[in-house]
Amino acid sequence: MSAVLSAFFVSPTVQTALVVGTVVAVVSGIVGVLTITRGQSFAGHALADLGAVGGSGAFLLGVSQLWGFVLAGVVSAVAMEAIGTRRLEGRDVATGVVFGAGMGLTALFLTLDTLIGGSSNAAISVLFGSLFSVDSRLVPVILALGAATLAIVAAVWRWVSLETLDRDLAAARGVPTRWASTLFLIALALSVQLSSLSIGAILSTALLIGPAATALLFTRRLGTAAALAAVIAVGQVGVGCLVSFASYDWFGGNSWPVSFTIVAAVFLTYMGARAVDALRPLINRTAVA
Amino acid sequence: MSEGFAHHDPDVVLRARGIAVRLGGAPVLEDVDLDVSPGAIVGLIGANGAGKTTLLRVLLGILRPQSGRVHRPDRRAGIGYVPQKISLDPHAPLRARDVVMLGLDGARLGIPLGRGRLRGAVDEALARVGATGFADARVGELSGGQQQRVLLAHAIVSRPALLLLDEPLASLDPVSARDVVVLLDELRRQSGVAIVVTAHDLTLLLPVLDRVAYLAGGRAAVGTPAEVVRDDVLSELYRRPMRVIEAAGRTFVVADEGVTNA
């Protein structure tokens, strides 16, 4: 095991993956707590679906899928806010058709990527991510995008808390509610797209919702929940990278995909936390008795 | 917004003149005037769709009327607003005391730091509305009546000159509703805050109302309860025979026609 560990930490691929993964985990955990608090998990899924159109289209243009994800995500966020996210949820038929069309377009682009662009791994890369194949030259950009996302979230933190409670109430307090919700949705889009780059568009909301939902089982405070979710997510990404890396030896050169191991870590942590949460009354009773 | 009157009258906290609102082409309010004095409780009474909430949103400054002017205190600290109900996920990590704290600094940018010195004011507001017992509970887990007390604490913590409440009695049992009326009466007596409250029925509120604005068909009958809550005024407003009935020390307003077994 120590041989695996020393190989793990000296591999440049792993180093890039850990840096990118840590940024994505911190951002996803913090944004995820506010997303659940605002009841916008649905918007997170929608932004992942629509971002995939950009991610898959980017291959056709020969640019990094990161730019496709980010551009499509931010444009979708602004459009969704213009239409109104609550209205979108109320009209699930029309919304389902539009997002279905987005996934259809993604399918078309992915086929064209293979046929024209010769990127045979585009489908796996866009849909299921590629933390171990992130171009190390993108690291500064990813760091900047992560910092920008956290800066937006920090700026609108209280505006968004009030707006979550009641839009009119926030407006009555002098909060520019339109700006608050639009800026938060842009932060959500950036978070989901960074996550799409790492673990794929289909799995990206796992890292958004999973660590945050786990943290919310253990605290009633918004700030504490955000910090806890970030720590949990970093742990899950780290463990996921390590297990994926180590599994190379277990299966004679065919490692488990890192997206699978990360999402498995997210899932198992959440189930474990739910179990602890369910047992809590029992433990307390034993302690009293 | 169309704020600002040439002369500021210290005896008036809120002054609305000639308010007209059309929503989707249909007139909701036509030429409504309203004055609210310090320490007064004013009731906006009317059926669902009569324009109570629309008028409240105009007074609050979040809906711009097609015509008319409103003079109101500065929004951030000067006006407290209590919505009818909130829908918050039970797991949302917002405790009752967090919601009250947002009444002091919720409009500020950036993450909250150095809130310790505000804690005394928050505890005081929670105690004032009888919410100390659930101050650390998640707001999403509280009952409708408890949430309303927390929202009231949120509204008064900044010591506003004006308090606007949307249907505070609508979903309460009669005992809780009476408790809220008593609480509003205490608040205005102790702090001099002016209170505007909407309701679809005036019976519970009438004992504490200084002025009433009865809304029907986009029009308003405004005055003291003695001036407005009368057969002739309400019949004119509703354009059908109305009766004001006194029973058991309470006042009830009913439509006169169709009540046959008198």
pLDDT, tens only, A208-267:
999 999 999 999 999 999 999 999 999 999 999 999 988 887 877 788 899 999 999 999
User: Cα angle vertex B246, ends B241, B247, to 5°?
Assistant: 130
- Residue B150 confidence (pLDDT) above 60: yes
Q: Residue A153: in which H helix or E strand, if any?
A: helix A139-165
Which of the two residues, A51 and B8, has the higher pLDDT score?
A51
Pairwise CA distance, residues A133 & A129, whole Å: 9
DSSP B155: H
Among candidate residues B218, B96, B93, the one with its CA nearest the CA of residue B157:
B96
Closest B-chain CA to A171: B62
Nearest Cα to B107, choosing from A23, A149, A52, A173? A173
Q: What does the pLDDT read at residue A47?
A: 92
Q: Tell me if A232 is assigned to some domain.
A: no
C-alpha B160/C-alpha A223 separation (Å) is 28
Show the domain range for A186.
Answer: 2-205
Asked if residue A226 is part of any domain, the answer here is no
Query: A-chain residues within 8 Å CB-CB of B76?
Result: 173-174
Q: Taking CB atoms and an 8 Å cutoff, what residues of chain B touch A211?
A: none
Query: Are residues A43 and A80 in contact, defined by beta-carbon separation less than 8 angstroms?
Result: yes
Q: Answer whether residue A160 is part of any domain.
A: yes
Size of the A and B interface in Cβ pairs below 8 Å: 97
Cβ neighbours of A154 in B, within 8 Å: 110-111
Burial of A87 (0-12, 13-18, 19+ CB in 10 A): exposed
Which chain B residue shows the shortest CA-CA distance from A161?
B106
**Mean pLDDT, range A144-151, rounded to an integer:** 97
- Residue A175 placed within a domain: yes
Chain B's closest residue to A221, CA to CA, is B93
- d(CA A158, nearest CA chain B) in Å: 5
Q: Does pLDDT of B4 surpass 60?
A: no
Q: Does residue A66 belong to any structural domain of this protein?
A: yes
Helix, strand or coil, per DSSP, at residue B223: strand
Chain B residues with CB under 8 Å of A173 CB are 75-76, 81, 102-103, 106-107
Residues of A in contact with B93 (CB under 8 A): 33, 37, 216, 219-222, 224-225
Mean of all residue pLDDT scores within chain A: 88
Note the pLDDT tens digit of each residue in A189-202: 999 999 998 888 88
pLDDT bracket for residue B259 (50, 70, 90)? low
**Best interface-test mutation with B: which of A41, A217, A220, A221 has the largest number of B CBs within 10 A?**
A220
Nearest residue on chain B to A213, alpha-carbon basis: B91
Q: Residues A32-41: pLDDT tens digits? A: 999 999 988 8
The answer to whether A221 and B95 are in contact (CB under 8 A) is yes
| pLDDT tens string A46-96 | 899 899 999 999 888 888 889 999 999 999 998 888 887 666 666 667 677
Per the domain annotation, does A144 fall within a domain?
yes
- ipTM, two decimals: 0.85
pLDDT above 90 covers a percentage of chain A that reads: 52
Query: Quick check: A110 pLDDT over 50?
Result: yes
- Token pair of B154, please? 């949120």
Separation between Cα atoms, residue B6 and residue B248, nearest integer Å: 47
pTM for this model (two decimals): 0.88
Residue A149 has a pLDDT of 97
The structure tokens listed for A109 are 């682009």
Nearest to B60 among A161, A162, A172 (CB): A172
Q: What is the mean pLDDT of chain B?
A: 87
Checking phi first, is residue B114 left (phi over 0); if not, alpha (psi -120 to 50) or beta?
A: left
At residue B114 the predicted structure's pLDDT band, cuts being 50, 70 and 90, is: confident
pLDDT > 80? residue B211 = yes
pLDDT at A288: 57
Is A231 part of any domain?
A: no
Domain-embedded: residue A229: no
Average pLDDT of the segment spanning B124-129: 94
- Quote the CA–CA distance of B16 and B33 in Å, as a whole number: 5
Reported confidence tier of residue B8, pLDDT bands at 50, 70, 90: low
Contacts of A178 in chain B (CB under 8 A): none
Predicted confidence at residue B262, as pLDDT, reads 44
Nearest to B91 among A36, A161, A166 (CB): A36
pLDDT at A60: 85
Report the number of distinct structural domains present in chain A: 1
CB contacts of B70 in chain A (<8 Å) are none
CA of A173: which chain B residue's CA is closest? B76
Q: Is A86 on the interface with B (CB under 8 A)?
A: no
